[in-house]
Amino acid sequence: DAMVIQNPRYQVTQFGKPVTLSCSQTLNHNVMYWYQQKSSQAPKLLFHYYDKDFNNEADTPDNFQSRRPNTSFCFLDIRSPGLGDAAMYLCATSPHSTEYNEQFFGPGTRLTVL
Amino acid sequence: AQSVTQLDSQVPVFEEAPVELRCNYSSSVSVYLFWYVQYPNQGLQLLLKYLSGSTLVKGINGFEAEFNKSQTSFHLRKPSVHISDTAEYFCAVSGKGGGNKLTFGTGTQLKVEL
């Protein structure tokens, strides 16, 4: 089945220690998104790629970076995680060829910062 | 810009009872509307979507929603819930021509009790 895969599902890091979360997709979608979701809150868009074109949200902290080396993979780098960065991180994809924005989500990575 | 309001943060209901989860939106342009479900420690799964045409939309797991343009609402309903429907439900909106972005509501926790 075509899908969106996130690894790892659970990640523990230390305060200030860089961490990378990964996302891969077999849907061959043009657009990939990263969301941050804190407990009992709505997903918050951090940034998205349309192919290799990177689009950052205005309020995304500089501490968060992303890379998309090819269509299938996208990475979220947190350069110096703080306690406030503990959250679920969701990756999603979308086929830009469609007019509407149905997004397909991965299972998420839950990040704990000690 | 768009916004979404989910009026109920939690909805408790007994098994086999009907349920309605409320969603209102605001937008200066025509919209596409979505309901997603999130089970604990999982990603978001699309329940149903309204793009155009019939205002009554049927989705997976027996859920349906009705688009009401005059009331700017998109309430989700199920005539008889099951324990397995216990989850977080998110309403989301995308503005036509607004790029590849979804705006989510803050979610409604549906808790089905025996």
Domain count along chain A: 1
**Residue A111, in any domain of the structure:** no
Of B42, B51, B106, the CB nearest to A107: B42
Please state which CATH number belongs to domain B3-113.
2.60.40.10
Residue B52: the pLDDT is 87
**Residue A88, in any domain of the structure:** yes
- Residues of chain A with C-beta less than 8 angstroms from the C-beta of B39: none
Residue B100: the pLDDT is 66
Report, as ranges of residue numbers, the positions in chain B whose pLDDT lies below 70. Answer: 97-100
Instruction: Return contacts of B58-64, CB within 8 angstroms, 24+ apart.
Output: B59/B35, B61/B37, B61/B85, B63/B35
Per-residue pLDDT tens digits for A8-17: 999 999 999 9
What does the domain layout of chain B look like in residue ranges?
Answer: 3-113
The residue-averaged pLDDT of A53-66 equals: 93
| Residues 3-42 in B contacting A (C-alpha not used; CB under 8 Å) | 9, 32, 34, 36, 41-42
**Residue A95, in any domain of the structure:** yes
Domain that holds residue A17: 4-106
Residue A61: the pLDDT is 94
Residue B40: the pLDDT is 86
**Residue A93, in any domain of the structure:** yes
**Residue A113, in any domain of the structure:** no
**Residue A14, in any domain of the structure:** yes
Per-residue pLDDT tens digits for B73-103: 999 999 999 999 999 999 999 887 666 688 8
